[in-house]
């Protein structure tokens, strides 16, 4: 079992995140609650080199935090647009406590990028609110493949890991407030 680490206080979180723009350096936290959690992960197959790296970051973080590997349910959808329904299907399950959404939309020459990004962001927000379960947004929206790889385990960390951390923190908050 890795050495237990604790998250910085909230005030320090904002200072750290604005200082280096890389939240992947945050230490993980092991709580007894995490051993009993079932976490859904929905992953877009489009641009699998990027989304696969995001998935690895998310799963590794969950396991280091104490979530049992057999309690991590990974589902694949064709592309980022389908992430919303994938997240909804996972949140509809009574045994799922939170969902991580992983995708990658790279700017092209048309407005397609704008429509997909807007639809996915709004859709995930709606699933989050309707399900009353944490649904974390781990969808990269970049100008090119290099920027995407930089955020999928490269020089800007792994945003899949950050989405996993967000899900666990929101589940802990829900538990703290007595609604889990």
- 73 by DSSP, 3-state: which? strand
pTM, 2 dp: 0.85
Specify whether the CB–CB gap between 74 and 59 falls below 8 A: yes
**Which pair of tokens denotes residue 90?**
């996972």
Q: Taking 80 as the threshold, does the pLDDT of residue 12 lie above it?
A: no
Q: Does domain 45-176 have CATH number 3.30.70.3150?
A: no
Higher pLDDT, 87 or 5: 87
Residue 103 has pLDDT above 80, yes or no: yes
pLDDT, residue 110, reads: 80
* pLDDT at residue 142, as a whole number: 96
Other CB atoms within a 10 A radius of the CB of residue 134 amount to 21
Catalytic residues: 112
Is 135:99 a contact under the CB 8 Å cutoff? yes
How large is the average pLDDT for residues 69-78?
A: 98
- Mean model confidence pLDDT for the chain: 86
Helix (H, G, I), strand (E, B) or coil at 137: strand
pLDDT digits (tens, 9 = 90+) for 42-57: 999 999 999 999 999 9
Q: Where are the domains of the chain?
A: 45-176
The pLDDT, as a whole number, for residue 176 is: 87
Q: Which residues, at least 6 apart from 133, have a Cβ–Cβ distance to it below 8 Å?
A: 91, 96, 97, 98, 99
């Amino acid at each position: 079992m890795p050495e237990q680490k604790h998250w910085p206080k909230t005030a320090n979180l904002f200072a750290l995140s604005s200082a280096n723009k890389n939240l992947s350096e945050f230490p993980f936290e092991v709580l007894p609650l995490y051993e009993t959690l079932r976490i859904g992960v929905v992953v877009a197959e489009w641009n699998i080199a990027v989304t696969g790296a995001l998935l690895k970051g998310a799963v590794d973080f969950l396991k280091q935090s104490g979530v049992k590997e057999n309690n991590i349910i990974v589902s694949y959808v064709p592309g980022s647009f389908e992430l919303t329904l994938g997240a909804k299907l996972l949140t509809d399950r009574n045994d799922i406590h939170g969902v991580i959404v992983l995708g990658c939309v790279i700017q092209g020459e048309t407005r397609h990028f704008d429509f997909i990004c807007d639809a996915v962001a709004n859709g995930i927000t709606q699933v989050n609110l309707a399900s009353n379960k944490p649904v974390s947004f781990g969808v990269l929206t970049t100008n090119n493949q290099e920027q995407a790889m930089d955020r999928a385990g490269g020089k800007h960390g792994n945003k899949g890991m950050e989405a996993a951390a967000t899900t666990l923190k929101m589940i802990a908050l829900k538990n703290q407030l007595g609604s889990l």
